Structure 1
Amino acid sequence: MKPMTEFTIPFVGLKVATHHFDYKIEQAFFEHFEYKDFNNVKVDVKVALTKKPTLLELHFKVSGLVNINCDVTNEPYNQKINNEFDLVVKFGDEYNDENIDILILPHGSYELNIQQYLYELIILAVPIKRIHPGVKDGTLDSDILKKLEELSPRLNEDKETHEENDPRWDKLKKLLTDK
């Protein structure tokens, strides 16, 4: 996958200090990754890069809305997301991203592309079970909800209909008491 240049930070010319970068993520970003679970995306990303003499520290903060489909009714709704992540970038002999919190870049590297970190941070901010707020509070009027209600087992049925005595069970119950 070709890296998106707007998410590449050239850190070699930066002073030893904290630098701030702001990004606006929209649906086209996820189309680049061929991720189709989101209907629409409006997410703000703030990145604080602290450059030190021997390493870089990055603090990512994402917040915004993603429009996704409900797992119960398949109705689209806006899900608020908030997430943060810290990354330490060190320099070594070869590229290594095996540790989730530490990235090792080869000596002589002059830029860092953060698009993969942003992608994962936004994806992981969305809840695993996606339920429309109208389902939780009962305000959503949906054909699927009505059908689910119709097909759900009834818990408050008359218990008398289930407690009719069956002579076969009576004989088995008698075996339990005969010892």
Structure 2
Amino acid sequence: MKTMKAYTIQFVGLKLGKHNFDYQIDNSFFDHFEYDEFNAVNINVNLLLQKKTTLMELHFKAKGTVNVNCDVTNEPFDQPIEDAFSLVVKFGEEYNDENEEILIIPNGEYEINVAQYIYELIVLALPAKKIHPGIEDGTLQSDILEKLEELSPSASDDKNKEEDIDPRWDKLKNLLTDK
């Protein structure tokens, strides 16, 4: 992955205090990471950098939508995204990013690239299972949903299975309840 210059902040020339950076994220951003799970991306990321004498605090806020495919029907839909992340940047002897909330950079550094943090913020804001809102409220009409409904076991199938059980098993079940 090439470093993306638009997401590099040269903090050495900034005065102490708060500084705002706004980023408009689209599909080209995720192309750099070779991440192709999104059909379309429209996210605004606001970065508030608070520079102090010995450290910097970065507060990321992402809000927007990503167009993804539903995990049930594979129908595309817009998934709203809203998340926040804070990072403390300290100066030390060598680079260390083992702690997810604290980044240690070498004393001589004069810039920081925030593209990786924006990428992780957006990807981790997605739910584990992406379900089309039309499925939850019952308004989505799809061939896949009809086929799933047709193939799903119904309540009458469960009753038929219970009726077909050999009566000898009932005696064994009584052993469990006769304690």
Q: CA RMSD in A?
A: 2.1
Q: CA deviation at 1:108?
A: 1.1
Summarize the Cα distance change of 1:106–1:160 in structure 2 as closer, same or farther, 3 Å threshold.
closer
C-alpha distance in structure 1 between counterparts of 2:158 and 2:125, whole Å:
45
Query: What TM-score does the superposition give when structure 1 sets the normalisation length?
Result: 0.91
Q: Which amino acid in structure 1 is aligned with residue 171 of structure 2?
A: K
Correspondence for 2:35 = 35
Separation in structure 2 between the aligned mates of residue 127 and residue 107 of structure 1, nearest angstrom: 38
How many percent of aligned residue pairs carry the same amino acid?
59
Match of 2:163, SS state, is: coil
> What is the CA distance between 1:157 and its match in structure 2?
5.1
Structure of higher CA gyration radius: 1
* Alpha-carbon separation, structure 1, partners of 2:61 and 2:161: 58
Query: Corresponding residue for 2:54?
Result: 54
Amino acid at match of 1:57: E
Matched to 1:95, the amino acid is Y
Alignment-derived partner of residue 44 in structure 1 = 44
TM-score for both structures, normalised by structure 2: 0.91
Q: CA deviation at 1:10?
A: 0.4
- Tell me what 1:64 maps to: 64
1:19–1:163 Cα change, 3 Å? same
Determine helix, strand or coil for the equivalent of 1:58: strand
Q: How far did residue 163 of structure 1 move?
A: 2.2
Cα distance in 2 between the residues matched to 1:112 and 1:165: 68
* Matches of 1:63 and 1:103, distance apart in 2: 24
Aligned partner of residue 100 in structure 1, secondary structure: coil
